[in-house]
Structure 1
């Protein structure tokens, strides 16, 4: 027999499907599971991780790393579970959603690009406090923005209860009270607080870009798609992130 690691049958199947242990037990009793072509009815049976598992005749295999972009609507929280609000994972029709996590969170009242994956090292490149990653937002403000705000953002903004200025940020004025801002760190509610420090208030905030990954214009709110190979690879390219002392994911 090929060398490998021993697992309980019910655990092995629950890891590669959406079935709970109890559901695997019922499937086994119903003779729907085979191991190397042999029907197995005991869910506690020990199998090797190299064994061929089939459910209803379909081969079960461990899925590789998954990478998604989602256009987050208002009212959804970036969490795996929440007792009061729907989560962005509720919008995904994918198996084993409990294995996925959000790489770059947004507030419940912020919309736009969210990246979701089960690849911890990949998401670490986006969210680690020891790295920074450029993020671009569209903001609709309560009041007209002053022209000198561009220079103020470029120099960094003093935020309330912070010991140092923010890192230089790029501000583009689109209209009197509409702007596009790119930040390269992730302090708590940073974008909203930066405008608040100038006596303004963010009415709408929408994330358009994370590093080299741009929100797909074809995605309506609540829709998602797999990332392309180029989008996935861009996260590990040197220009995507670089060492930094700032921390956190924010808007």
Structure 2
């Protein structure tokens, strides 16, 4: 974790105040002055601010049912941030593990644990994401084989990783994939001559969306640990 982030996570200081304290040589890491905000610190380091040992707050893990017309960002832009729906302290310390487009609804995971996020988002870890997809045109049965073999996306050298496509009705699909390329789901269906008109994420790994739109809850310990590599 960055030193400035650790200070914010263990005090009431914001990022600007933390960086000022570091620049003023008020921060010691293992009894040595550190003046670089990006300096990486770890759990076994002793970090002191003005001669007081700091202890970081525990990591937090949440799920949120993201509504449409919200964005997976820490700041508002054209649309408001989905994090505005959280009524908890220190929201600025949180980030979203695996983003959704503004018009996409469903499950997002939120945390302040960067290593945990890495386990979810790294394609090689094989974390499955399940989406319910609405299409503009009827789909052909043979498309399921194409998705299983990999789709050639425009501008990409390699095929997508194998994905499972379940046809629920001619225009409604359930798609399971392990990647998270830019606009991947929309691009995959575009590559087979169709267009996504609705997109909803139902599940990430073993965590299933089980709250109403706009609502959130903390993950259980079992859910958190399901993303931790042994």
Question: Is the structural similarity TM-score above 0.5?
Answer: yes
Q: How far apart are 1:187 and its partner, in Å?
A: 1.5
Greater gyration radius: 1
Q: Distance in 1 between matches of 2:70 and 2:159?
A: 31
Q: Distance in 1 between matches of 2:179 and 2:199?
A: 17
Count of residues paired in the alignment: 191
Deviations 1:3-27 (A, max 9, x none): xxxxxxx997515xx9x97xxxxxx
Aligned pair partner of 1:183 in 136, 159, 177: 177
1:119 aligns to 2:113 (yes or no): yes
List, as ranges, runs of 4+ consecutive aligned residues in structure 1 with deviation greater than 4 Å: 10-13
Tell me the equivalent position of 2:29.
none
Q: SS of 2:155's equivalent?
A: coil
Tell me the equivalent position of 1:220.
212
Tell me the equivalent position of 1:147.
141
Q: How far apart are 1:131 and its partner, in Å?
A: 3.8
1:80 aligns to 2:74 (yes or no): yes
**Which runs of 5 or more structure 2 residues have no equivalent in the other structure?**
1-7, 18-48
Q: Distance in 2 between matches of 1:122 and 1:65?
A: 10
**2:131 touches 2:203 (CA, 8 Å); kept in 1?**
yes
Q: For the aligned residues, what is the CA RMSD? A: 2.4
**2:107 touches 2:209 (CA, 8 Å); kept in 1?**
yes
Task: Compute the TM-score of the two structures, normalised by the length of structure 2.
Answer: 0.76
Tell me the equivalent position of 1:31.
none
Q: Distance in 2 between matches of 1:230 and 1:194?
A: 33
Q: How far apart are 1:198 and its partner, in Å?
A: 0.9
Q: How far apart are 1:83 and its partner, in Å?
A: 3.1
Counterparts of 1:164-203 in structure 2 under 5 Å? 164-203=158-197
**Which runs of 5 or more structure 1 residues have no equivalent in the other structure?**
1-9, 22-44, 51-60, 239-251
Tell me the equivalent position of 2:63.
69
Q: Distance in 2 between matches of 1:153 and 1:163?
A: 16
